[in-house]
Structure 1
């Protein structure tokens, strides 16, 4: 088996984890939860407080706790308290999508995408042994059961109004991808076989859709899960629901499929053979159609259904997921080509994305590789970047938090 990373690069990754966490401390909102950081690492005045950001940052500080970072435990608890008290809807259940500066609901719709991060936060904080985390996880999973899980299609629905009376007539693979991540983390925390069964079904849903489009993963569907290939064709650079297919999600799904495989092995099951086959196919397709396809290094944001770049701006989270997928594929196959890609993409990240002046990473670059904010403004959170620095250094595990705990326990 070839070596993934040199001792010097591993040491750099360790230092980068701590640097990212140091940057993330500024996101704390004194009254509870975490705010949206700007390019200088300051909370952005007037920006809503988003459920998904607080969920992600609570997960991040659970990872910081497992790393032994001083002060991390208090920040996990800070996030958990906000999820229990500020974002939770006491009347109808579930969690508000965003709050204003006075902690009043700004967007009271109930969407599965941000609520998946409540599950992730609860699972990771449970692994970190934080008080109240297991109870939050149980409540979040029960809410997903009641309102989002669709047993017929083996996937989650997208969104409801506040009272859970009016569903959105749309299905999105992004929300299902993050629910898969959350369910895997919850499985690592609880061992619940029902969660594993759902992970397999979510994985199957994505693989079936990707295979039908020559591995260009569709993102948008109707309520019967028929793909809507021209969705948002007039808003190609939408940050959450762009037109076409999103290269970073091919990598993200590739890694998650391998984690489903690991979970099946852990449960004493024979893993589905299509999981690894699909992971390799998605990874390879993303390299061919995403990396340096327009004459400059980096991954394009999206491609159309012929594989041509649709939005060429570079997003930091895409290369973060690419390195994480390469590390995981290398771990399960031992093939040197994944180590080669891993090193090339980290060289790019260090040269173009790591912000040595203001901290964290530039979240977006334009066509001239200058910091941009067309798709994503500021440096909202450190979730993708931090995980990219951790995944190469931990065992392949359904949950990043549990993998980190296993690594620290030797």
Structure 2
């Protein structure tokens, strides 16, 4: 067994596997008849009032590709359905790239070209390529070209946020969220294609963000001007924005801690020490600010720049990232305090988030009661699948390649 996972006992690993299988069974009805993924409501039912969205479709392509690589039955067909949406109704055949979403009514579309969504097209198609989903290599090649040509800005070494449908108008907003998911996507693409350029870009982005965090007491500035000047008051009047919330996003500190360790693993002996120390500092700041911050268990969604809670909803993805980050730090350092956080987070997930059908409630209120003000329903499986899978794999190579090499324990 890899030393990175040797601290996980056999019973717990078997439970994680059962949870992975349950999640993938729960959401199997996501497929839209024209290709792509429905937004799922309670019980895994398609929400017919919502559009088919590129980011959700790409995430479903990713997780069902992982399921297929892990040997779980009946995952290939859902992955094919997701891919069909990305090569079909979600793809802009005129201008290239992918619409933000289409529907729910025939002929409706959101033509915005979002870096966040395009990063997930790269990520999903990379996983699908490794999984052998027909058409995935061509999709990955196209997605990498689009991300490179239309989103990458060489001078800052970051991706811009969004453009108009025909690429002619670039948004003045710059954000960290699209770049965060680009890191994971590019690491995977580098493993899949063998091209080191994508790993180099992932490393450059990560080091930039760690620098911003260190200069800001390890609370990551998320929103910027076109010249990458921080906008620390952005969305103060809409603090619970699902993609651009005001202040410091606790879950992103946790997620970047994990990603820094994936970059460190990918670089091997050439990795700078700052990737580990940065990951530890981000994790420590996030748990200090976020856990039990308002007197109840769980992580608050956001804080202000002094660490005071702002939005006290509990999002499932924040807890999932805390699980993944604590597992990664435990594997790298052997420090028992990360194992303690890992166990604490699973105790919370079992008590409040995981339902008998295997799905995760996506949002709780400040008293840990089911809520839906930001994330109603069960949109996708990305974070919760990672929470039951990544700790059973090495930090490098990335999950699809590691699964293909038989490294799952």
Q: 2:386 — aligned with what?
A: 387
Q: CA deviation at 1:409?
A: 7.2
Q: TM-score, normalised by structure 2?
A: 0.96
User: Which of 214, 219, 223 does residue 216 from structure 1 map onto?
Assistant: 219
1:167-209 CA distances to partner (integer Å, 9 max, x unpaired)? 0001100010011111011112112111111011101221111
Q: 2:39 — aligned with what?
A: 36
User: Which of 18, 21, 25 does residue 21 from structure 2 map onto?
Assistant: 18
Q: Structure 2 matches for 1:327-366, cutoff 5 A?
A: 327-356=327-356, 359-366=358-365
Q: Take 2:343 and 2:97, find their aligned partners in 1: how far apart are those partners? A: 42
Q: 1:279 — aligned with what?
A: 279
Q: Take 2:143 and 2:160, find their aligned partners in 1: how far apart are those partners? A: 15
Q: Take 1:123 and 1:80, find their aligned partners in 2: how far apart are those partners? A: 11
Q: Please, which moves more after superposition, 118-127 or 394-403?
A: 394-403
SS at match of 1:309: coil
Q: Structure 2 matches for 1:104-253, cutoff 5 A?
A: 104-253=107-256
Q: Take 1:318 and 1:145, find their aligned partners in 2: how far apart are those partners? A: 29
Q: Structure 2 matches for 1:58-97, cutoff 5 A?
A: 58-97=61-100
SS at match of 1:311: coil
Say if 1:394 and 1:407, in contact at 8 Å, map to a contact too: no
1:315 aligns with 2:315: yes
1:91-143 CA distances to partner (integer Å, 9 max, x unpaired)? 11100000003563521010100111100011101111222211111110000
Q: CA deviation at 1:359?
A: 4.2
Q: Take 1:276 and 1:244, find their aligned partners in 2: how far apart are those partners? A: 24
Say if 1:260 and 1:398, in contact at 8 Å, map to a contact too: no
Q: Take 2:346 and 2:167, find their aligned partners in 1: how far apart are those partners? A: 44
Q: 1:254 — aligned with what?
A: 257
1:204-244 CA distances to partner (integer Å, 9 max, x unpaired)? 22111111110011110111111100000000111110000
- CA 1:399–1:409: 2 relative to 1, 3 Å: closer
Q: Take 2:129 and 2:144, find their aligned partners in 1: how far apart are those partners? A: 14
Q: CA deviation at 1:55?
A: 0.3
- CA 1:55–1:104: 2 relative to 1, 3 Å: farther
Say if 1:235 and 1:243, in contact at 8 Å, map to a contact too: yes
Q: CA deviation at 1:152?
A: 0.2
Q: Take 2:107 and 2:18, find their aligned partners in 1: how far apart are those partners? A: 38
Q: Take 2:396 and 2:106, find their aligned partners in 1: how far apart are those partners? A: 36
1:261-320 CA distances to partner (integer Å, 9 max, x unpaired)? 11111xxx5112211111110011111111112211100000100000111110000010
Q: 2:303 — aligned with what?
A: 303
Say if 2:394 and 2:407, in contact at 8 Å, map to a contact too: no
Q: CA deviation at 1:404?
A: 2.5
Q: Structure 2 matches for 1:390-405, cutoff 5 A?
A: 390-405=389-404
Q: Take 1:62 and 1:339, find their aligned partners in 2: how far apart are those partners? A: 29
Q: Please, which moves more after superposition, 7-16 or 276-285?
A: 7-16
Q: Take 2:178 and 2:143, find their aligned partners in 1: how far apart are those partners? A: 15
Question: Which residues of structure 2 form unaligned runs of 5+?
Answer: none
Q: Take 1:79 and 1:12, find their aligned partners in 2: how far apart are those partners? A: 27
Q: CA deviation at 1:408?
A: 4.9
